[in-house]
Structures are given as structure tokens and as C-alpha cells.
């Protein structure tokens, strides 16, 4: 891991390729004053004349200014001080870092407010990392090194851990499906576990059969690539402390199976392991931060393809918990994978479960590209999650789980079918299906079909995988040990 340095030199004397300074639109800072002093009228005029308004994510790059040693002064807008929060800090720093990452820079220094400094550091790391990991000559270059103008070592360390964990999740999503499939996903996580301090157990197909994970195996059987299930353990609290289980959908490629997707809907389906990526990123961050919590992550890893061995419409499969499922649509595969993994989690002593899945296109219709859908069997637990997500500045919205949706997933020939009656409320019927496999455990399902992936780049982050909800999970894990749930 790259070492981020702390510095306290005078801004005018900082010798760097760039110095990034956060500005509020309604309030000055000691940095701003130092810059005004060092550059005479220059920056002051810029602000007074409205060339830089310090709006959120606004970035102005000023090369070779008189009075500064640094080659570039980068003004990063933070908006109004009263609206400053974790997401604003991350995005502002990310926008500046991303704007600069077109060039190969050596050393960069950042000056941001003391509040949410960890998020600003994470933002630089996120803005410095692109989706073009397979390109011979990448377009986004990370800084050779960077320093933070602060004395707060723990904020810098935490920010670095957060940024790297978000990038782990993004990279897993961005890796192409011929490179990242269940076996290679599992191998990468084994390495990551060793580096970060969590234990990894991998079930191969033989163990999955022994464990009666038949619905997961049914989805996997159309592919030549064997499935895997990962269990990741980090025990940072005493043995009797409650256990938080994180469950992720890890479909490394979703063709739809016999209910084949059209080409345009299939291209991005390497992102269908976004839930698993979020869980892995969170495990990395929680372990490296040594949080006082017991957390176990579970990922069901499969590829959903078509072949002479693939599962079919009309097949009936007995899930691990004994409920039989009639297959009406092989493209509703995520809930089948999760059914068995949720059963494993709930029977392994989880006190609370959160699952993450790119589960339904219907969730995109309901909530748009950037907002996750929340579904629960326990309002108090869901409120706790929502509070953590709000603090992290990650958008989520709860949807209803009323009984009439359960009616829709009853089958004429088996206990359940894997789709509802028609398209309407498709995210809710999917969640209702999952609920059948968590028994009485307080559980939240987070449908991240929207936020896990972005076709378009944003100012602070490249297109592709987003690493969504890694920060929320760190926030939740911090509160979990103290919470009275
Ligand atoms: N992986 C998809 C959901 C998805 C769609 C994720 C778009 C990200 C972007 C999931 O497996 C799926 O295909 N769901 C179906 C369910 C339907 C057949 C009941 C869907 O949403 O169309
Ligand atoms: Mn599907
Ligand atoms: Zn899918």
C-alpha cells in the first residue's frame, strides 16, 4: 500500500506537482487566507469575479501561479458549509483528483477541512482509479504520491483504507467476465483475506453438493465454470458479541440463461456480482480498521449461461432449506443463488443479515440509477441501516413488503415460483422470495441494480463499478457493536 504522508508546511512553500484546496462557497478558511496572502490578489480576484464559485464538485486548475512553489493550484468547490457532509467531501476531492489524473503527476498535496477528512482522502483514491484496467495505456493515472495537510493521522489512515476498499469493489466489477469468474473471484478474495486480516473459506462444487445448495448449483450448471461459495470471517469482538452477516449476489456473468437477455441488456452483465463485490470491499475495510465487531461475509458465485446442461423453465428444484421452487424464468437467477446462501447465513448463527444484489431491473424503474431499494422483515434493523447510509451519503429508499406480494410467488406445482405475476412490483416480489430463506433473522435486502454500475462517468468517479455501500457498511459496523437492536 502506498504511504500517504502528512504535512504542515506553508502552502506557498509546498513543492508539488499540484496542491488541491477545498473551498466553501460561504466561508473562508485558513488555507484560503494563506493562498490569498501568497498569491496577492490573484485567487481573491478569481473568487470575487465569479470565475470560481466553490459549488460542489466544481474544479478549477490554475497552472504556474506566481507566489506558489507548487506547479498547479487546484480549487475544489465544497458548496455551502452548512450542507457539508461525507459525500460532499468525497466527491469534491474525487472530482479534483479525477480532473488531474489525465496527466501523469508525481507528488500532490491536498488541503481539505478537518471534518470528513477521511472521506476526502478516500475521494482522491477513488478519483485516481479508472475502469480501463485492461487498456495498454490507461487514461487515468494515479498520483505518484500524495500528502495531506493535517496532523490527523487516523483520518488519513481511515480514508486510505476506505478508498482502497471501494476500489477493490470497483475493480472486481470492472474485471471482464472471462477474467473474473467464480474460481478466480474466490482466489482473489483468498489473497485479499491474507492481506487484510479476514479468514476465507471456499466451498467448491463438491462441497456445495454436500451442503445441499441445490438452487445455487442449478443456476451454475449451464456453465463450464464451476461455482463457488465464499465465507469470510472477521472476529473483532468477543465470542458472545452478536454476529453481523453480509450476503452478496455474485453472478459473474448473467446471460439470462434460456430466458436469454437481448444483446444490449447483456453487455453490462459482468456487473451482476456487484453485491458480492460490496461485501468483499466491506470485509477488507472492516478488518483493516480493526473494528470491534464480529462480521461474516457470504458470497454465492456462479455464471448464468445456456448449454445442454443448463436449468430450464419448468424445472423444480428443492432449495437448501427444503422449499421447492418452480423455475418460470431462468433470468431470475439471483434470488435462486441467494436463497441457498441466505439459508447458510441464517443457520450459521447470524444475528442480523444484510444482503446486497443487483437483483431486478424493476428497481431501476422504481428508484432510478443511483438509489438502492431497501426491503426488510424488521423495521428497527432497517432504520439502523438507513441511518448509516444517510450518514455515509449513499442513497437508499425503502419499499413495502405487504403480504399480497407473497401470493404472487406461489406455484401451482411447487412451494414457490421464481417470478411474480407480471412485471409490476418486480423488485418486491423478488424480495418476498428472498424473505422465505432467512427464517426469523432480522434481515435487510438491498437491491443495488441501479447504483452498483454506471454507464456514464461522473465528475468524481469513472464509469463502471461504483463500490457502492462499502462506506455505509463501515458506518453500520461502527455502530453495530454499540447498538441495542
Ligand atoms: N441481473 C439482473 C438484474 C439487473 C438488471 C441488474 C439490470 C442490473 C441492471 C437479474 O438477474 C434479472 O435479470 N432480473 C430480471 C428478473 C425478471 C426475469 C423477473 C429482470 O429484472 O428483468
Ligand atoms: Mn438475470
Ligand atoms: Zn442477474
Q: How far is the CA of 361 from the centre of ligand 2 (A)?
A: 9
Query: Which tens digits make up the pLDDT trace of 412-455?
Result: 999 999 999 989 999 999 999 999 999 999 999 999 999 999 99
- pLDDT per residue over 153-193, tens digit each? 999 999 999 999 999 999 999 999 999 999 999 999 999 99
For the chain, give the percent of residues with pLDDT over 70. Answer: 99
Residue 261 catalytic? yes
Interacting residues of 222 by C-beta distance below 8 A, sequence separation 6+: 257, 303, 304, 305, 306, 307, 309, 310, 311
Residue-averaged pLDDT of the chain: 96
Annotated domain spans of the chain: 10-149, 166-480
Q: Which of 251, 273, 360, 445 for mutating ligand 1's site (highest number of atoms within 8 Å of CB)?
A: 360
- Measured in Å, residue 399 CA sits from the centre of ligand 3 at 20
Q: What is the mean pLDDT of residues 63-90?
A: 96
* pTM for the model: 0.98
Atom of ligand 1 nearest to the CA of 360: 21
Which among 177, 305, 331, 373 is the best mutation to test ligand 1's pocket, defined by most ligand atoms within 8 Å of the CB? 331
Q: What angle do CA 91, 293, 232 make, to 5 degrees?
A: 85
* Ligand (nearest to CA of 358): 1
Question: Ligand 2 centre from 255 Cα, in Å?
Answer: 7
pLDDT digits (tens, 9 = 90+) for 338-356: 999 999 999 999 999 999 9
- Name the active-site residue from 335, 386, 417, 432: 335
Q: What is the reported pLDDT for 254?
A: 98
Cα angle for residues 470, 472, 476 (degrees, 5° grid): 115
pLDDT of residue 265: 94
Residue 343 Cβ inside 6 Å of ligand 1? The answer reads no
What pLDDT score does 39 carry? Answer: 86
Nine-digit cell at 104?
Answer: 501523469
Ligand with the closest atom to the CA of 265: 1
Q: Which three cell numbers stand for residue 482?
A: 454499540
Q: Can you tell me whether residue 183 is helix, strand or coil?
A: helix
Q: For position 485, what pLDDT does the model report?
A: 63
Q: Is 254 in the pocket of ligand 1 (CB under 6 A)?
A: yes
**Range 10-149 classified under CATH 3.40.220.10:** yes
**293-339: pLDDT as tens digits:** 999 999 999 999 999 999 999 999 999 999 999 999 999 999 999 99
**CA 217–ligand 3 middle distance (angstroms):** 15
| Any atom of ligand 1 within 6 Å of the Cβ of 449 | yes
What would the mean pLDDT of 231-240 be, rounded to a whole number? 96
Instruction: Please tell me the distance from the alpha carbon of residue 326 to that of residue 315, in angstroms, as a whole number.
Output: 6
Query: Ligand 2 centre and the CA of 181: distance in Å?
Result: 16
- Digit-coded pLDDT (tens) for 194-204: 999 999 999 99
The reply to whether ligand 1 has any atom less than 6 angstroms from the CB of 426 is: yes
For ligand 1, say whether the CB of 419 is within 6 Å of any of its atoms. Answer: yes
CB crowding 240-258: b at 16 or more within 10 Å, else e: eebbbbbbbbbbbbbbbbb
> pLDDT tens digit string along 101-155?
999 999 999 999 999 999 999 999 999 999 999 999 999 999 999 999 999 999 9
pLDDT tens digits for range 7-62: 888 888 999 999 999 999 998 888 888 888 888 878 888 888 889 999 999 999 99
- 285 neighbors 160 (Cβ within 8 angstroms): no
Order of all β-strands in the sheet with 396-398: 199-203, 228-235, 294-304, 243-254, 352-357, 443-447, 372-376, 396-398
Give the model's confidence band at 5: pLDDT under 50 very low, under 70 low, under 90 confident, else very high: confident
Q: Is 326 in the pocket of ligand 1 (CB under 6 A)?
A: no
Atom of ligand 1 nearest to the CA of 361: 21
Nearest CA to ligand 1 atom 14: 360
| Mean pLDDT confidence for 466-478 | 98
Q: Pick the closest to residue 99 from 135, 60, 70 (CA basis).
A: 60
What pLDDT is recorded for position 36? 84
Distance 428 CA to ligand 2 centre (A): 16
Say if ligand 1 is within 6 A of residue 361 CB.
yes
Which CATH fold would you assign to the domain 166-480?
A: Aminopeptidase (3.40.630)
Residue nearest to atom 13 of ligand 1 (CA): 331
Q: 371-407: per-residue pLDDT in tens?
A: 999 999 999 999 999 999 999 999 999 999 999 999 9
Residue nearest to atom 5 of ligand 1 (CA): 361
pLDDT for the residue 28: 85
| Residue whose CA lies nearest to ligand 1 atom number 3 | 360
Among the listed residues 233, 261, 318, 458, the single catalytic one is 261
CA distances from 2 to 114, 146, 164, 289, 335 (A): 22, 9, 10, 16, 39
Q: Cα torsion at 80, 81, 86, 87 (round to 10°)?
A: 10
Amino acid at each position: 500500500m502506498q504511504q500517504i504522508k502528512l504535512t504542515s508546511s506553508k502552502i506557498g512553500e509546498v513543492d508539488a506537482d499540484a496542491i488541491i484546496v477545498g473551498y466553501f462557497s460561504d466561508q473562508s478558511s485558513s488555507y484560503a487566507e494563506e493562498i490569498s496572502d501568497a498569491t496577492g490578489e490573484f485567487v481573491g480576484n478569481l473568487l470575487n469575479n465569479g470565475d470560481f464559485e466553490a459549488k460542489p464538485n466544481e474544479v478549477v486548475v490554475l497552472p504556474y501561479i506566481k507566489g506558489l512553489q507548487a506547479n498547479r493550484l487546484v480549487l475544489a468547490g465544497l458548496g455551502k458549509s452548512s450542507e457539508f457532509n461525507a459525500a460532499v467531501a468525497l466527491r469534491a476531492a474525487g472530482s479534483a483528483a479525477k480532473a488531474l489524473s489525465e496527466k501523469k503527476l508525481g507528488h500532490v498535496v491536498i488541503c481539505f477541512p478537518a471534518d470528513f477528512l477521511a472521506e476526502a482522502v478516500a475521494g482522491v483514491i477513488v478519483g485516481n482509479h479508472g475502469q480501463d484496467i485492461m487498456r495498454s495505456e490507461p487514461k487515468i493515472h494515479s498520483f505518484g504520491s500524495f500528502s495531506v495537510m493535517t496532523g490527523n493521522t487516523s483520518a488519513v489512515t481511515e480514508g486510505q483504507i476506505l478508498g482502497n476498499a471501494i476500489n477493490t469493489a470497483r475493480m472486481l466489477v470492472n474485471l471482464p467476465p472471462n477474467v473474473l469468474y467464480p474460481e478466480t473471484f474466490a482466489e482473489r478474495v483468498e489473497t485479499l483475506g491474507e492481506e487484510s486480516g479476514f479468514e476465507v473459506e471456499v466451498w467448491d462444487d463438491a462441497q456445495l453438493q454436500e451442503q445441499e445448495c441445490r438452487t445455487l448449483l442449478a443456476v451454475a450448471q449451464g456453465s463450464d465454470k464451476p461455482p463457488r461459495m465464499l465465507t469470510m470471517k472477521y472476529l473483532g469482538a468477543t465470542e458472545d458479541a452478536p454476529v453481523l452477516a453480509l450476503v452478496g449476489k455474485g453472478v459473474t456473468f448473467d446471460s439470462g440463461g434460456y430466458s436469454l437477455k437481448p444483446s444490449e441488456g447483456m453487455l453490462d452483465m459482468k456487473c451482476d456480482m456487484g453485491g458480492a463485490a460490496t461485501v468483499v470491499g466491506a470485509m477488507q475495510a472492516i478488518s483493516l480498521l480493526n473494528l470491534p465487531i464480529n462480521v461474516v461475509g457470504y458470497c454465492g458465485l456462479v455464471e448464468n449461461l445456456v448449454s445442454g446442461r443448463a436449468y430450464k423453465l419448468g424445472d423444480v428444484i428443492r432449495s437448501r432449506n427444503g422449499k421447492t421452487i418452480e423455475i418460470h424464468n431462468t433470468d431470475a437467477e439471483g434470488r435462486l443463488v441467494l436463497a441457498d446462501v441466505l439459508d447458510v447465513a441464517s443457520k450459521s448463527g447470524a444475528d442480523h443479515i444484510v444482503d446486497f444484489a443487483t437483483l431486478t431491473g424493476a428497481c431501476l424503474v422504481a428508484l432510478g440509477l443511483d438509489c438502492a431499494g431497501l426491503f426488510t422483515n424488521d423495521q428497527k434493523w432497517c432504520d439502523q441501516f438507513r441511518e448509516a447510509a444517510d450518514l455515509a451519503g449513499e442513497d437508499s429508499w425503502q419499499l413495502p413488503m405487504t403480504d399480497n406480494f407473497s401470493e404472487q410467488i406461489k406455484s401451482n406445482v411447487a412451494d414457490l415460483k421464481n417470478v411474480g405475476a407480471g412485471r409490476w412490483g418486480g423488485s418486491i416480489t423478488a424480495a418476498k422470495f428472498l424473505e422465505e430463506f432467512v427464517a426469523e433473522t432480522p434481515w435487510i435486502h438491498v437491491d443495488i441494480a441501479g447504483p452498483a454500475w454506471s454507464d456514464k462517468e461522473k465528475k468524481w468517479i469513472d464509469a463502471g463499478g461504483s463500490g457502492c455501500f462499502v462506506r455505509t457498511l463501515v458506518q453500520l459496523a461502527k455502530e453495530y457493536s454499540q447498538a441495542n437492536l
